[in-house]
Amino acid sequence: MTTDRLWTVEDVAEYLGVPVSTIYDWRTKDYGPPGKRVGKYVRYRPHDVIDWFESLDDNAA
């Protein structure tokens, strides 16, 4: 069993260098790294966020 700490929306926003509001906006548009609801909170596995980021097209801009 892994004991890695789950990331908050704030952690994800900091890692990606975007505002917290962008993370919430992406969730409403089914975009962004996969997160899971834990009660009223959204949590992310760090490796899911990193994998999602690495999967982005470098030429998209």
Identify any residues that bridge with 44 across adjacent strands, giving them in sequence order: 7
The tens digit of pLDDT for each residue in 18-60 reads: 999 999 999 999 999 999 999 999 999 999 999 999 999 887 6
- Distances, alpha carbon 28 to alpha carbons 4, 20, 35, in Å: 26, 13, 12
What was the pLDDT predicted at 34?
97
CB 3, CB 41: distance < 8 Å: no
* Prediction pTM value: 0.86
